[in-house]
């Protein structure tokens, strides 16, 4: 068992060393260990015979007149090539190119002969370290200084963990990028929050004091650092207007938006997937055309107009449902959920239909039918599961759009969610509030998409095998 651990470590180190990013990480995480080992390596290298042998071989080959032989061959090749492509190359040019090729070829030959004849291998730090990794004693001795590197090695030895780690790191970079982007956009804004809030009659001193309280007089990089730190530590300071704590107002408003969005997604899945499957199994029938027509209309309705029409019909004319949302009242949630989910329902239904239609015409479905499966067995065992894969991606992507687009729906139904919060704050512009709102939504979306990607890695055998190959 222990032996296999060494083998894994060594193999992973070899593989990871090939990629520059990982090589850098390996040396960074194991700095103390590598320093020590490098000292030993320098001491040991003195009695190395490789260089000496190589020099011998080089002289031998030069003596044989190899260079001239190579040169003639390459020159002829180059001349032939130039003649074929009808290029006019000067003699010097051909000479220069031939010399270059000869150098390369000669070096290659020298290395080949050195290794072939004497059985010595070139010792680099890398090979030296690899040979050490095989020894159990070395591993135990180096466990303390190299613990981070070993953890990293173990992590990337497993394709799943490696994939998850890579996706996580990628998400972190994206989130930092989002923070920088949104902050920079608001920073270069020509508007001045101080004079917007304090009014036109504010004196220079008042404006300066305001800017100092909110850190607006600091240089760009300092402000950016504060903002990013604030997002990471959930401490965004107080908003410009009304001095409420931004992080806690976002924490209060976010769950409302999230709940409505989740219910919309649920509604969309429950309605759209059966509709999509039904349409795909009876393509171009009357019901299919009708469903897809309705779906296209659903895609084309602006949320706010649909909300207004719902309010007009169900609240004002029929008086069935309350026109505005109140947190405790489940009935008041029905209209916002339907309005927010319409577009998603329509997209999923269309996507499900086209994806399933594509799969039904694949060869393996014909095989399934040929081996005697009934239509429904074929559909449920072989087709639907595979057709769901792109659909789930679409759900993940659309979920982000829904959280962003919720602002409009929230305004129509007077919901105090994160979307309407951002819209309310943008007139000032209240930098911490807008930034916090946008970045936290972006983080949520990234996390949802990360989760979907990881789920895929477990569920989809094609992705699994691709991961193992790479």
Partner 1 sequence: MEEKLHNRHALVLSKEYPQANFTWIISLIISVIFLVNSFSFTTGEMNSLVFAMFIAYLATTFLQLFITRRMKRDLLDTGAIQKKTRRLGYVQLLSLVSGNVFAAAAAFNLINERKTPEYTFAVYMFLTQLFVIAISAMNMFKPYVTDTFLVSMAVLLVITVFHAAVLIAVAKLVRETDAPRSMAMIAVFVLLTAVTGNLFALLLGWSLLLKSISNDHSRILKWHVMWEKITRNSMAVFGLFFIILMLAISVTSRFTFDYDFAVENDYGNILQTPSLAYPFGTDNFGRDVFSRIVFGARISLLVGFASTAIPVVVGGFLGGIAGYYSIRTDNVIMRLLDVLYAIPGILLAIAIIAAFGANTTNLIIALSVGSIPTYARTMRANVLMVSNYDFVDSARALGTSDLSIIFKQVVPNSLAPMIVKSTLTIGGAVIATSSLSYLGLGVEPHIPEWGNILRVGSTYLESHSYLAVFPGLAIILLVLSFNFLGDGLRDALDPRLD
- Judged by the rule CB under 8 A, the positions of this chain that interact with partner 1 are 85, 170, 173-175, 177-178, 181-182, 185-186, 188-191, 296-297, 299-305, 308-309, 311-312, 316, 400-401, 403-405, 407-408, 411-412, 422-423, 425-427, 429, 434, 437-438, 441-442, 445-446
Residue 259 C-beta: closest distance to partner 1, Å = 18
Instruction: Report yes or no: 217 and 211 within 8 Å, Cβ to Cβ.
Output: yes
Q: Alpha helix (H) ranges present in 188-215?
A: 193-198, 204-213
Nearer to partner 1, 12 or 347 (CB): 347
Nearest partner of 153 among 167, 137, 165, judged by Cα: 165
CA distances, 61 to each of 53, 105, 113, 428 (Å) = 12, 12, 10, 79
Instruction: Report yes or no: 322 and 249 within 8 Å, Cβ to Cβ.
Output: no
Give the three-class secondary structure for 62: helix
Residue 466 C-beta: closest distance to partner 1, Å = 16
Nearest partner of 187 among 224, 150, 133, judged by Cα: 224
Residue 405 C-beta: closest distance to partner 1, Å = 5
Nearer to partner 1, 257 or 332 (CB): 257
Instruction: Report yes or no: 419 and 438 within 8 Å, Cβ to Cβ.
Output: no
Nearer to partner 1, 29 or 446 (CB): 446
Residue pointed to by tokens 């299919």: 288
- Identify the DSSP state of 302: -
Nearer to partner 1, 215 or 429 (CB): 429
Token duo for residue 127: 């090979």
Nearer to partner 1, 140 or 318 (CB): 318
Nearer to partner 1, 136 or 177 (CB): 177
Nearer to partner 1, 87 or 205 (CB): 87
Residue 31 C-beta: closest distance to partner 1, Å = 26
Residue 27 C-beta: closest distance to partner 1, Å = 21
What Rg value do the Cα atoms of the chain yield, rounded?
33
Neighbour tally for 443: CB within 10 Å: 17
Nearest partner of 415 among 286, 268, 256, 238, judged by Cα: 256
Neighbour tally for 401: CB within 10 Å: 13
Token duo for residue 188: 């270069």
Give the three-class secondary structure for 256: helix
Residue 32 C-beta: closest distance to partner 1, Å = 31
Nearer to partner 1, 115 or 288 (CB): 288
Residue pointed to by tokens 């994160």: 418
Residue 434 C-beta: closest distance to partner 1, Å = 6
Nearest partner of 250 among 439, 448, 410, 406, judged by Cα: 439
Residue 212 C-beta: closest distance to partner 1, Å = 22
Nearer to partner 1, 137 or 316 (CB): 316
Residue 368 C-beta: closest distance to partner 1, Å = 22
């Amino acid at each position: 068992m222990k032996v296999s651990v060494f083998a894994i470590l060594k193999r992973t180190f070899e593989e990871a060393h090939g990629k520059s990013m990982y090589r850098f990480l390996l040396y960074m995480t194991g700095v103390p260990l590598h320093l020590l080992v490098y000292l030993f390596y320098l001491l040991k290298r003195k009695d190395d015979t490789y260089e000496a042998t190589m020099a011998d071989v080089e002289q031998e080959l030069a003596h044989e007149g190899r260079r001239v032989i190579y040169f003639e061959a390459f020159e002829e090749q180059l001349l032939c090539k130039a003649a074929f492509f009808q290029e006019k190359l000067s003699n010097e040019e051909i000479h220069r190119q031939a010399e270059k090729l000869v150098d390369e070829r000669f070096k290659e030959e020298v290395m080949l002969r050195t290794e072939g004849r004497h059985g010595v291998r070139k010792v680099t730090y890398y090979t030296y370290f690899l040979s050490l990794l095989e020894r159990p004693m070395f591993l135990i001795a180096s466990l303390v200084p190299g613990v981070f590197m070993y953890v990293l090695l173990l992590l990337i030895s497993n394709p799943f963990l490696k994939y998850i780690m890579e996706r996580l790191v990628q998400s972190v970079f994206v989130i930092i990028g989002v923070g920088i982007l949104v902050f920079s956009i608001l920073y270069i804004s020509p508007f001045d929050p101080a004079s917007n809030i304090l009014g036109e009659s504010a004196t220079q001193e008042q404006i300066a004091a305001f800017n100092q309280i909110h850190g607006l007089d600091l240089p760009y990089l300092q402000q950016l650092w504060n903002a990013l730190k604030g997002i990471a530590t959930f401490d965004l300071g107080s908003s410009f207007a009304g001095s409420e704590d931004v992080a806690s107002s976002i924490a209060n408003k976010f769950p409302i938006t999230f709940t409505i969005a989740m219910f919309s997604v649920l509604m969309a899945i429950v309605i759209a997937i059966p509709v999509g499957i039904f349409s795909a199994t009876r393509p171009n029938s009357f019901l299919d055309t009708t469903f897809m027509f309705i779906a296209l209309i659903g895609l084309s309705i602006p949320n706010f107009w649909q909300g207004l029409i719902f309010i007009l019909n169900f609240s004002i004319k029929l008086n069935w449902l309350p026109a505005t949302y109140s947190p405790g009242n489940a009935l008041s949630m029905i209209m916002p959920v339907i309005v927010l989910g319409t577009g998603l329902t329509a997209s999923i239904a269309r996507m499900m239909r086209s994806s399933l239609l594509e799969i039904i015409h694949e060869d393996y479905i014909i095989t399934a039918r040929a081996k005697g499966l009934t239509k429904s067995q074929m559909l449920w065992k072989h087709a639907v599961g595979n057709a769901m894969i792109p659909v789930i991606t679409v759900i993940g992507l659309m979920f982000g759009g829904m959280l962003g687009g919720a602002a409009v729906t929230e305004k129509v139904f007077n919901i105090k969610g994160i979307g309407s919060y951002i819209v309310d704050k943008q007139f000032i512009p209240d930098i911490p509030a807008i930034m916090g709102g946008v970045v936290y939504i972006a983080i949520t979306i990234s996390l949802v998409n990360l989760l979907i990607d990881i789920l895929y890695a477990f569920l989809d055998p094609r992705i699994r095998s691709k991961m193992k190959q790479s």
